[in-house]
Structure 1
Amino acid sequence: MTVSVPGLSLLRMTFSSNLPEMNTQTANSPAALDNEEMLLVLHQSLTKKRVLIVDRHSPARDSLRLMLGALGVTAVHGAGSSAEVIRQVKGNRFDIILSDFVLDDGRDGQQLLEELRHAHLIALGTVYMIITSERSYTNVVALAELAPDDYLIKPFTSEQLQARLVRAIYKKHVLRKIYEQIERGALQEAIAACDRVIQQQPVYQYDALRFKGELLHQLGRTAEAEVVYRRVLEGRVVPWAKMGLATALRDRNALEEAEQLADQVIQEAPEFLSAYDFLASVHEAQGKLKEAQQVLQRAADASPHNTLRQRLVGDVAARNKDLLAAERAYGKVIARNKGSSLRTVDDYANLSRVLIERGDVDASRKISAEMKREWRGDKQAELAALVAESLCLDLEGAGDKAQAIVAQAIALQQQVDAEAAEKGRHVSQRLSVDLAHACYATGHAEAAQQIMRQVAAENNEDPHLLDHITSVFEKTGQPDAGRALLDQVSKQIVDLNNKGVIAARNGDLEGSVELLIQAVEQVPNLQFLVNAAKAIFSLLERKGWDNELAARGLDYLQRAQRKDRKSPKVASARELYVAVARKHGIDIDPG
């Protein structure tokens, strides 16, 4: 069933660019639902679903609850604020979330969806539907970008709600095996599930092909992913397939071709905002920071609620020395993320750093004060405030006071590191570099050198963090020393890694595991974590399962995932873990 409202043609166009087939079939079309019996089963299954209604107005929640009750849905929860949603999804697995677009404290359903997906708080199989009276272009673009499963424009009837829910549930049912394997980390089996959908459910073949292309890319099988996207483009021209092909081209360093494809997508489907992000990444790879900033800003202007992109704008502008633009972007991130689980101490530290670089110490101090209020009792926030204050004092010429505060910061960092190790928390690497900057500025050169060496070694595959390190050396008047340190760290990493890899190639898996464990303990970077995990899993495959060693390998894998969940190296290690665990009849850890 289709809702007839003004502006629907624009909404259909926008969603079809992100979710192919979503609006091409009606809810009771034979092509969408196999037969009337299946339709009946789906209507019955709807009554068993657990639903969360998100609306700041209690009467609106009650009204929707009654509408669902008339459809036989009884397991209905309500939430009046975003914070309540986060609390509930952490304690319950919901099949359906119905969120109003306008939420509490100026936030909206789009931002909530962003937060839930970014933090992996809802399953792939959860139906997320946004209810809105908004018809403006900006809101339509924003909804499409974050790809809810569907939308409903007020007012609507219970029959229209039922039709949309049944259609969404059916699609989730068809794709459920793909979701299950992805959530288990069994990406190869997820690809096999994609192939089954392609063969057996032609209506949803493009959804499955999209998943397949992304999975192949995640596994580093770029050439195969390219074949998938070219196959899609032979049948229909859709933005996501062009972007998938562009990504494959970029990964084999065909930057000009990738740039051209992204430009085409932006021209043909300007609402497909991930194309702007991709094009910005290509410009960065080409060394064109100004162009990267401009294209990101265009996307941020079109979808101002996306805080992750606003953060990217700030980062690129800061590297481009456009400090006013960086200040604006970081300020928007802080404003949008108040009370959100997406907020970070780094957001405040980023803005404070830019303000100090602009010479505005008063504004920097105001941001530090706000950070301490927002993060009361958090040691990383205390550390960030100390670092910012020391740099402010140094800028004001109060060297003695700055030096004393840096000494406090160094001592506090040791507490932060110890607490993070105990609780498995992430320590801000940017903040560590800022502390090193403060150390250099106040004469604590030895401490600064030690911090820089450790951060560079643990993040040797993060070009943006390495750029941050380089900029600190430049600001403190020692660019040659910076290049020398990074060169030394790079050589150390290569030497440590090669010892373990050579041992493995020579068949000495026990020796390889021992050497790579030593490397991880010295430098827990992504490369060593992945290589040590894979060496451990390979040894378990050959010698048999050992719980203690397996736990160590899984710990390394999970730490690597926290560093870069999308890395093909991490995906490959995860695949090996799944295969070895299954071989020995071990339940796979869902983490």
Structure 2
Amino acid sequence: MATINFASHHCLVIDDFQGMRYLMRDMLRECGAVHIEMASNGKEALQRLQERRYDIVLCDYNLGQGKNGQQLLEEAKLRQLIGPASTWIMITAEKSSDWIMGAVEYQPDSYLLKPITADLLLSRLEKIAVRKQAFAEIAQAMSNKQYTRAIALCDERLAYDQVNAAELQRLKGALLLDAGEVEAAQKLYEAVLTKREIAWARTGLGRICYQQGEYEAARDHFQISREQAPGYLEAYDWLARTLQKLGEAEQAEATLSAALKLSPNSPLRQKSLGELALQRGDLDAADAAFRKSIAVGEHSILKSADAYLGLARVCGKSGRSDEALKVLKTAQHQFDDANVTLRAKSAEGMIYTQEKQLSKAGAVADELKQLLLEGGAKPDSAASLEMAELMLATGQRDQAVTLLKDVVRNNHEDNALLGKVQAVFDGANMKAEGSNLVEACRREAVELMNSGVLLARDGKLTEALAAMRGAKEKLPVNARVLFNFAFVAVMYLQQRGADEALIEESREALREANRVSPGEKRFSQLMEALNKLEQR
């Protein structure tokens, strides 16, 4: 007899075999469920998930052609088709660990190996329901990006919930990092590690060292985490990033290769491996990794345009220009994204340049210039760098300089990216001029960033808000400008009273700032301030 009433729960059963769908439906009925729907493949399941929020999803891992169960779960989470209160159970006949390891970033709530019984299903559902109830308020606060509230809720529950203490500590540590509370996170991780070695705590310390630029210390933490918990893939990813910062590309590549032996079906990790191999000039290894990324990502929301663009670069460097152009056309077809189109076109133009087909390269550059002039294309930093390189190679200097100046203004504190900008100038024999332009644009961004804040401190809040709104329009992806806009807006709202439109504009600026520069302390502080203003 069920101890939890599932009669009000909406359930979805996903399996490509009709008999199994009916069997799972009947088991859910034995558990007390009444509202049960079914889907026979990933496409049908996505349609249902878009139409209704389900409380329980039973999903087979192998769904025939198209998406498998793991890819379906990833998409459901990334598109927020299921919430923190939803239960997702993956069902499989596979006994191999590969597919479980591949679920490290987007884990289901539980796995069940076939054959299963109604009693086993009920037991698992009840255990998950109890855990979900324990974390319900925290999960909701996290979904709303109310990090301060979520941290406080973790502390409240830690005072009496010993059963979930370890998970609450892990969650609190992650929240502290998201909120920019680095010192508090460090104390928590160190306290955990005084009692016993735990991979997530050791990795947390490594992330703090990485964030502070202490890459050798970060490397040591990640290596310990990997040695203590060989299956903890997050440590491999952070170790690879750290080794790249230390200039140890070959070791970084070896680290990713080791992770991929444990979990070979990650399109993003395969793509990263390809990029590392390409940087080292190992074209064969890069070719294999990019092709693997494309293959395993075919039906995944995590498939990467960078894998296609990387493969095209490999083909171009290997003298296979025709294949490179075909890959670039495929990339544009696969991704309905303006930046992918701009980058693919830029790569196409550079291939023509390398082959001395300057008229074709110039035609592509003209096409890109027209897309920019029409205003429909808003290039990101990667697209801007690649377009600028082509335009400089085809004599369109003014347009290239405009693109590079925008990159600097929007990323004036990102030294690695500024180095890439300088490298583009260097490649066009504009080293000194480029250096002067980079410095001038950096100073301009600082002035725009500070203008409104200085006015606000002088009490000129209306002028300050106008100045920061203007800066935000000029530098739409500059995290410092976005944070400063929200800061000035909060000061204005505290003095003048709540304004729903300005509150939402500020929230949108903060969300974009958090996307560009996650883990900033000001994000959670300013979000909290806006929430309080709204509640007045």
**TM-score, normalised via structure 1 length:** 0.83
Structure 2 counterpart of 1:491: 443
CA offsets, 1:411-464, max 9 Å, x none? Answer: 12344x4366xxxxxx54322322212111111111111111112322345566
Structure 1 counterpart of 2:389: 437
Please say if 1:224 is aligned against 2:187.
Answer: no
Structure 2 counterpart of 1:205: 165
Identity %: 28
Please say if 1:187 is aligned against 2:139.
Answer: no
Q: Do the aligned partners of residues 103 and 476 (structure 1) sit closer, same or farther apart at CA in structure 2, a change above 3 Å counting?
A: farther
Please say if 1:452 is aligned against 2:412.
Answer: no
Counterpart Cα distance in 2 of 1:571 and 1:324: 45
Alignment of 1:257-276 (within 5 A): 257-276=217-236
Q: Is the 8 A contact 1:390 1:405 kept in 2?
A: yes
Structure 1 counterpart of 2:132: 172
- TM-aligned CA deviation for residue 131 of structure 1: 1.2
- TM-aligned CA deviation for residue 47 of structure 1: 2.9
Please say if 1:386 is aligned against 2:339.
Answer: no
Structure 1 counterpart of 2:355: 396
Counterpart Cα distance in 1 of 2:517 and 2:525: 13
Q: 2:18 aligns with which of 58, 65, 72?
A: 58
Please say if 1:308 is aligned against 2:259.
Answer: no
What SS class does the counterpart of residue 200 from structure 1 fall into? coil
CA offsets, 1:144-197, max 9 Å, x none? Answer: 554322111111111011111110111010010101111122211111111122
Structure 2 counterpart of 1:550: 503
Q: Do the aligned partners of residues 251 and 98 (structure 1) sit closer, same or farther apart at CA in structure 2, a change above 3 Å counting?
A: same
Structure 1 counterpart of 2:71: 111
- Point out the more displaced range, 169-178 or 337-346: 337-346
- TM-aligned CA deviation for residue 354 of structure 1: 4.0
Please say if 1:519 is aligned against 2:519.
Answer: no
Q: 2:530 aligns with which of 577, 581, 585?
A: 577
Partner amino acid, structure 2, of 1:353: R
Instruction: Name structure 2 gaps, 5 residues minimum.
Output: none
Counterpart Cα distance in 2 of 1:91 and 1:167: 27
Q: 2:42 aligns with which of 71, 76, 82?
A: 82
Partner amino acid, structure 1, of 2:376: A
What SS class does the counterpart of residue 12 from structure 2 fall into? strand
Q: Do the aligned partners of residues 490 and 475 (structure 1) sit closer, same or farther apart at CA in structure 2, a change above 3 Å counting?
A: same
Alignment of 1:324-363 (within 5 A): 324-343=284-303, 345-363=305-323
Q: Is the 8 A contact 2:352 2:360 kept in 1?
A: yes
Please say if 1:532 is aligned against 2:490.
Answer: no
Counterpart Cα distance in 1 of 2:38 and 2:126: 21
- Point out the more displaced range, 320-329 or 450-459: 320-329
Greater RCO (Cα-Cα under 8 Å, separation 6 or more):
1
Q: Is the 8 A contact 2:3 2:126 kept in 1?
A: no
Q: Is the 8 A contact 1:213 1:225 kept in 2?
A: yes
Please say if 1:246 is aligned against 2:199.
Answer: no
What SS class does the counterpart of residue 112 from structure 2 fall into? strand
- TM-aligned CA deviation for residue 550 of structure 1: 2.5
Q: Do the aligned partners of residues 255 and 345 (structure 1) sit closer, same or farther apart at CA in structure 2, a change above 3 Å counting?
A: closer
Please say if 1:132 is aligned against 2:92.
Answer: yes
Q: Do the aligned partners of residues 465 and 109 (structure 1) sit closer, same or farther apart at CA in structure 2, a change above 3 Å counting?
A: farther
Partner amino acid, structure 1, of 2:444: Q
Q: Do the aligned partners of residues 253 and 382 (structure 1) sit closer, same or farther apart at CA in structure 2, a change above 3 Å counting?
A: closer
- TM-aligned CA deviation for residue 199 of structure 1: 1.5
Counterpart Cα distance in 2 of 1:397 and 1:429: 27
What SS class does the counterpart of residue 105 from structure 1 fall into? coil
Cα RMSD (Å): 2.7
Structure 2 counterpart of 1:256: 216
Q: Is the 8 A contact 2:27 2:118 kept in 1?
A: yes
Partner amino acid, structure 2, of 1:529: L
Counterpart Cα distance in 2 of 1:473 and 1:356: 22
Partner amino acid, structure 2, of 1:457: R
Structure 2 counterpart of 1:408: 367
- TM-aligned CA deviation for residue 570 of structure 1: 3.3
- TM-aligned CA deviation for residue 71 of structure 1: 1.4
Q: Is the 8 A contact 1:497 1:528 kept in 2?
A: yes
Q: Is the 8 A contact 1:314 1:326 kept in 2?
A: yes
- TM-aligned CA deviation for residue 261 of structure 1: 2.0
Please say if 1:148 is aligned against 2:108.
Answer: yes
Partner amino acid, structure 1, of 2:451: K
Q: 2:193 aligns with which of 233, 250, 257?
A: 233
- TM-aligned CA deviation for residue 381 of structure 1: 5.2
Partner amino acid, structure 1, of 2:386: D
CA offsets, 1:520-568, max 9 Å, x none? Answer: 1111212211211222122212321123333332332233344345544
- TM-aligned CA deviation for residue 214 of structure 1: 1.0
Instruction: Name structure 1 gaps, 5 residues minimum.
Output: 1-38, 421-426, 585-591
- Point out the more displaced range, 47-56 or 67-76: 47-56
What SS class does the counterpart of residue 135 from structure 1 fall into? coil
- Point out the more displaced range, 162-171 or 429-438: 429-438
Q: Is the 8 A contact 1:346 1:428 kept in 2?
A: no
Q: Is the 8 A contact 1:497 1:519 kept in 2?
A: yes
Counterpart Cα distance in 2 of 1:94 and 1:481: 59
What SS class does the counterpart of residue 53 from structure 1 fall into? strand
Counterpart Cα distance in 2 of 1:314 and 1:482: 30
- TM-aligned CA deviation for residue 326 of structure 1: 3.5
Q: Is the 8 A contact 1:47 1:74 kept in 2?
A: yes
Q: Is the 8 A contact 2:216 2:246 kept in 1?
A: no
- TM-aligned CA deviation for residue 340 of structure 1: 3.6
Counterpart Cα distance in 1 of 2:414 and 2:318: 26
Partner amino acid, structure 1, of 2:484: N
Q: Is the 8 A contact 1:130 1:150 kept in 2?
A: yes
Q: Is the 8 A contact 2:271 2:306 kept in 1?
A: no
Q: Is the 8 A contact 1:564 1:570 kept in 2?
A: no
- TM-aligned CA deviation for residue 296 of structure 1: 2.1
Q: Is the 8 A contact 2:71 2:299 kept in 1?
A: no
Counterpart Cα distance in 1 of 2:37 and 2:519: 33
